[in-house]
Amino acid sequence: MENILQISHLNKSYNGIPALKNVNLSVRAGEIHGLVGANGSGKTTLMNILFGQPVIHETGGYQGEIAFAGRRIEFKNCSQAISCGIGMVHQEFALIPDLTVAENIKLGREHTLAFTDRLLGRQFSYIDNRHDRASSLQALRKLGIELDPDIKIMDLSINLKQFVEIAREIDRTDLRLLILDEPTAVLSQDNSWMLLEILREMSGRGIGILFISHRLEEIQAVCDRVSVLRDGELVARYEKNHIHINQLARDMIGHSVIKAAAGKRKIEARPLITFRKFSVAMPGEEIKNLDLNVYEGEIIGLTSLPGHGKLALGYGMMGLYPVAGEVWFNNERIVRMDAMDNIVKGIYALPDDRQGLGILADQSLENNIVFTANQAKNMFSRSSLFPFLSMLDHRRTVPHVEKMVQDFDIKCASFKQKVRELSGGNQQKVCIARALTAEPRLLFVAEPTRGVDISAREKILSMLIEINRTRNMTIVFASSELDELQRVCDRIAVMVQGKIFKILSPDSPEVDFALALSGETGMDDDV
């Protein structure tokens, strides 16, 4: 069969940091080509290049050659890709919330009244809603669901949105290559298999399919070939019948060098915080009925695929999203999630959205470090009759900030420098320093090393270990970087669909983690 897509020697870097290194990949017409890789392995970048996302062009384009149906292509925007016959099912859904199901499915390909088409041209011809509704119903039926095409997208649940997203691409008649980014992540088992059936049928019609999934079982079942990406490189490729789940999991993670690492130990203390049927309604990252004990003095890791809830725990404790269920902290029930109350009690949460919620970007380094401690506990104010009116006491803040800057190796021009001007890694260190200044007993951190270079990453990890060991601070460490969690944590909880799926020891084989992350119990056919 001919290659519909041929990628050769593809290189892409963001600000000098390579995201893809010499990738060669081809998709034949009528083939289902699987693509697997851990978070940050470059899958998204590859998709963005193929679909002509503007972000690629804006960050300096790419090197290498991509041929589509024998013609060399270099898309500058998505509409070029779409008009070539490339379709994409986006992981985050490219759906317009205020439009209805039918309007979304037919967007850009609406049936119009032929009469106005001739009279006023394509752009200004009247849309035939009845026709659109009927054909979108047909596309949805192919997926095996009955859905009122007049419901607005924003009123749909997440798995129905996924169906609409897929239906939009199925409905296209000009499709030649379909890219699916984690289409089954939010679907139930049955629905997933139904989708795989449809993909098989589509590939039978000669459509090339690039299928990305974390569910290795599906990859094994449906793909003709599978390629594995790791750290921007293509490390393995298997033909059908040679695809083994454990092998794929091993290839995805690779062999990592152990760097900053905590000594192994067993924590048998009393629970410091207990969650019972705890739910957090954070859109896209919901926690549902989570039960978890966090022991005093431990570092517990939280990991999951995106959207399965690892980030929401800290946000829930800060009261940023509605919560339900019971939380017992230090044998005392927390009734109301209020950030200030919780900080006073000794709970501090560092969010993953560092720019938006972590730092006070236009304030000085000094103010950033002492801000929370001073607001919550009035630790750095001059004594006065009305504490809330008193001025910051620089004789006390300066030595403290000095110590923090030294301890954590924060690189700055002066204490008065605006935090906005610091690098991402240093901003994160400032965040942790601020958390420490408030002297919490329990610290939630989320993705502290995201977008941080390697040396700063190691520094941040060793900071976390150090504050845990020297100050007996309990840490809940949510991250998608499994390798970091294994180095730092005493236990690692793997979350699937907002619940704790399995709690693993950091020494567990990596295959176990890969299986747990994809929600599989680990009993396998090819062992």
Partner 1 sequence: MKAKAPLNCYFNHERIVPAVFLVLSFLAWQISGLTGSFVLNQVITRFIRDGLLVLALIIPVVAGMGLNFSITVGAMAIQTSLLLVIAYNIEGVPGILLVMVIGIFLSVLLGYVLGRILNRVKGKEMITTIIIGFFVNSIYQLIFLVGFGTVIPVFNQEIILTRGIGVRNTVDLGMYRNTIDKLWLFSIGEIQIPLFMILIVLLFAGGIYYILHTRFGRQVQAVGSAAETCAVLGIDTDRVRIKVMILSTVLAALGQFIYLQNIGMFDVYTAHLNTGIISCAALLAGGASIKSAKVRQALLGIFLFHTLFIVSPQAGQHLFRNAALGEYFRSFVAYGTIALALIVNVGNENRPIQRK
* Contact with partner 1 (CB under 8 A) among 15, 123, 383, 470: 123
- Determine contact, residues 257/283, Cβ cutoff 8 Å: no
Ranges within 322-381 binding partner 1 (CB under 8 A): 322
Single out the residue of 219, 212, 209 nearest to residue 246, CA to CA. Answer: 219
Whichever of 111 and 450 has its CB closer to partner 1, that residue is 111
Q: Is the dihedral of CA 432, 273, 375, 337 positive or negative?
A: positive
Whichever of 45 and 274 has its CB closer to partner 1, that residue is 45
Q: Which residue has the tokens 């910051």?
A: 392
Check residue 138 for interaction with partner 1 (CB under 8 A): no
Q: How far apart are CA 373 and CA 403, in angstroms?
A: 16
* Contact with partner 1 (CB under 8 A) among 96, 324, 340, 454: 96
Check residue 99 for interaction with partner 1 (CB under 8 A): yes
Check residue 392 for interaction with partner 1 (CB under 8 A): no
Provide the 10 A C-beta neighbour count for residue 235.
14
Single out the residue of 419, 409, 440 nearest to residue 367, CA to CA. Answer: 419
Check residue 159 for interaction with partner 1 (CB under 8 A): no
Residue 476 pairs with which residues in a beta bridge? 300, 444
* Contact with partner 1 (CB under 8 A) among 24, 115, 124, 402: 124
* Contact with partner 1 (CB under 8 A) among 24, 63, 79, 378: 79
Single out the residue of 81, 218, 94, 99 nearest to residue 168, CA to CA. Answer: 94
Ranges within 20-59 binding partner 1 (CB under 8 A): 51, 53-54
Ranges within 304-333 binding partner 1 (CB under 8 A): 321-322
* Contact with partner 1 (CB under 8 A) among 2, 74, 148, 155: 155
Q: How far is the CB of 362 from partner 1 (least distance, A)?
A: 19
Burial status of residue 325 (CB atoms within 10 A of its CB: 0-12, 13-18, 19 or more) = middle
Q: Which residue has the tokens 């969650």?
A: 275
Provide the 10 A C-beta neighbour count for residue 8.
13
Q: How far apart are CA 512 and CA 246, in angstroms?
A: 9
Whichever of 187 and 488 has its CB closer to partner 1, that residue is 187
Whichever of 69 and 78 has its CB closer to partner 1, that residue is 78
Check residue 157 for interaction with partner 1 (CB under 8 A): yes
- Determine contact, residues 278/329, Cβ cutoff 8 Å: no
Structure tokens at 245: 């789940």
Q: How far apart are CA 410 and CA 220, in angstroms?
A: 47
Single out the residue of 354, 375, 372 nearest to residue 420, CA to CA. Answer: 354
Structure tokens at 350: 């560092």
Whichever of 86 and 209 has its CB closer to partner 1, that residue is 86
* Contact with partner 1 (CB under 8 A) among 108, 204, 263, 356: 108
Check residue 112 for interaction with partner 1 (CB under 8 A): yes
Whichever of 129 and 462 has its CB closer to partner 1, that residue is 129
Check residue 454 for interaction with partner 1 (CB under 8 A): no
* Contact with partner 1 (CB under 8 A) among 6, 41, 125, 474: 125
Query: How many residues bind partner 1, per CB under 8 A?
Result: 38
Structure tokens at 109: 């390909």
**Residue ranges binding partner 1 (CB under 8 A):** 51, 53-54, 77-79, 81-83, 88, 90, 94-99, 103, 107-108, 110, 112, 116, 120, 122-127, 129, 154-155, 157, 281, 283, 321-322
